[in-house]
Structure 1
Amino acid sequence: MKIAVIGASGLIGTKLVEQLGADGHEVVAASRNTGVDVLTGEGIADALNGADALVDVVNSPSFEDAAVMNFFTTSTNNLTAAAQDAGVGHYVALSIVGVDGLPDSGYMRAKVSQEKVIRESGLPYTIVRATQFAEFTDQITDSMTDDDQVRVPDALIQPIEAAQVVEEVARAAVAPPLNDFVNVGGPQKISFEQMANDSLTRRGESKTVVVDPNAEYFGTALEQRSLVTPV
């Protein structure tokens, strides 16, 4: 198969290009570094020429509400239009488990809009919703740190290694379109308290982890199972 990976220079995109290539597929690694700009549309048509599938793993450079919404709506409209023109048979996108249940988050709202554009484009599609990357648990812990305390929500998180996400997205790219989403998550559902304590221990830091029902996750309140797979 010929597969165009859009966002090929990121954490997932880089590994995905390697994985698909190792599996014997012809891969087009598309990013701003290769002259493909998803906001202006520059280079997209060339990247999709002859492609059987498009894998969208782009991410916004800004998480500010208006900027991230503009990024995902503009980029996805440009990509779906170009994919239709090129006759691409499968649009695969990476999204987030529970994305449609956290409307207080500007980032989540933008990802919901991205999914909507894909679903309504008329293209055959598969949306892979993943839980939070294990590689980001230190960053999450730091975002909840105030002096010597880490204030975490009373909720579960299900860290997944980026390599596993790559495997799931690669599998989706070569399979028939689902015209639906699929949830993928890490091996364990753990509390934010455990995640934070594990992060601090790993880094040799001595701070107190406090479970705070009012603590937010990047600006949004969480229910117990907001960020984990249903099963």
Structure 2
Amino acid sequence: MKIVVIGGTGLIGSKLVANLSASGHEVVAASPSKGVNTVTGEGLAGALDGAAVVVDVSNAPSFDERVVTDFFRTSGGNLAAAEAKAGVRHHVALSIVGTDRVADLGYFRAKVEQERLIVQSGIPYTIVRATQFLEFLAGIADGHADGDTVRLAPVQFQPIAADDVAAILAETALARPLNGLIDIAGPDRGPFSDIVGRYLTAVGDRRSTVSDPAARYFGGGVTEFSLVPTGPARLGQISLTDWLNRSKASA
């Protein structure tokens, strides 16, 4: 079966391409660097020719709300049109747990718009909402640093390893479309400040974390369960401890 991975050279996309290729499928890693641009439409028709499944793990080049929203609208519209023409039978998209619960965060609003366009496209679909990746913990710490202190909102956090995200996406791509959403998360949940603090300790970062009621999440207001699944969810296999041990070894 031919499967096209939009964003197939990135963190998740490259792992997903490897997983699907190992299963014997014809996999196209589509990205601008490979001559496939979903915003301009360049190379899109050729890449999708004969494809049964498209998995979209692409991301916008900026976190500015206008840029992100324009990206998902244009990319999504071009993808839907090309998929309809190619007879694609399943569109899988990677989104974020909590996109509809952090109303004042522009990037999340843009992801909600992306999801809306997918639902309305007429292409059978499955939207996979993931919690934040463990690989993003360094960036999260830097983004909330106040000198030697990392100030984090007093919320629950349940990050997932990129390897688990790719594995679940591969299974989803080979399954029937749900025409709905699934949430995925890591196996370990805990206070935001505790999880980031464990990461900093593991990699030898001397900054300390505090749970600050005044802190926001990249500028967005969050409540206790804004960033974690609040219903049924598929959990990854890689524990926080195992992932931190790998991080410590490579630091």
TM tier, shorter chain?
A: over 0.9
Number of residues paired by the alignment?
231
- The structural deviation recorded for 1:73 is 1.0
- The structural deviation recorded for 1:20 is 0.1
- The structural deviation recorded for 1:215 is 0.6
Distance 1:116 1:225 in 2: 23
Give the aligned residue type for 2:148. D
- Kindly report which structure 2 residues correspond to 1:22-41, keeping only aligned pairs within 5 A, or say none: 22-41=22-41
State the match for 1:2 in structure 2. Answer: 2
Q: Secondary structure at the match of 1:210?
A: strand
**Any stretches of 5+ residues in structure 1 without a counterpart?**
none
- The structural deviation recorded for 1:192 is 1.1
Distance 1:199 1:146 in 2: 17
- Match status 1:52 vs 2:52: yes
What's the % identity of the aligned pairs? 52
- The structural deviation recorded for 1:229 is 1.3
- The structural deviation recorded for 1:95 is 0.4
- TM normalised by structure 1 equals 0.97
Q: Secondary structure at the match of 1:3?
A: strand
- Kindly report which structure 2 residues correspond to 1:142-161, keeping only aligned pairs within 5 A, or say none: 142-161=142-161
Distance 1:176 1:70 in 2: 30
Whether the 8 Å contact between 1:193 and 1:211 is mirrored in structure 2 is: yes
Query: Can you list the C-alpha shifts for 1:171-205, whole angstroms capped at 9, x where unaligned?
Result: 11010000001011000111111022112212223
Whether the 8 Å contact between 1:153 and 1:215 is mirrored in structure 2 is: yes
- Kindly report which structure 2 residues correspond to 1:8-87, keeping only aligned pairs within 5 A, or say none: 8-87=8-87
Q: Secondary structure at the match of 1:99?
A: coil
- The structural deviation recorded for 1:100 is 1.0
- The structural deviation recorded for 1:206 is 2.4
- The structural deviation recorded for 1:228 is 0.7
Query: Can you list the C-alpha shifts for 1:91-113, whole angstroms capped at 9, x where unaligned?
Result: 00000111111121111011000
State the match for 1:97 in structure 2. Answer: 97
Distance 1:157 1:80 in 2: 33
- TM normalised by structure 2 equals 0.90
State the match for 2:198 in structure 1. Answer: 198
**Any stretches of 5+ residues in structure 2 without a counterpart?**
232-251
Deviating beyond 6 angstroms after TM superposition, the runs of 4 or more aligned structure 1 residues are none
- The structural deviation recorded for 1:87 is 0.7
Give the aligned residue type for 2:20. L
Whether the 8 Å contact between 1:149 and 1:210 is mirrored in structure 2 is: yes
Distance 1:25 1:94 in 2: 20
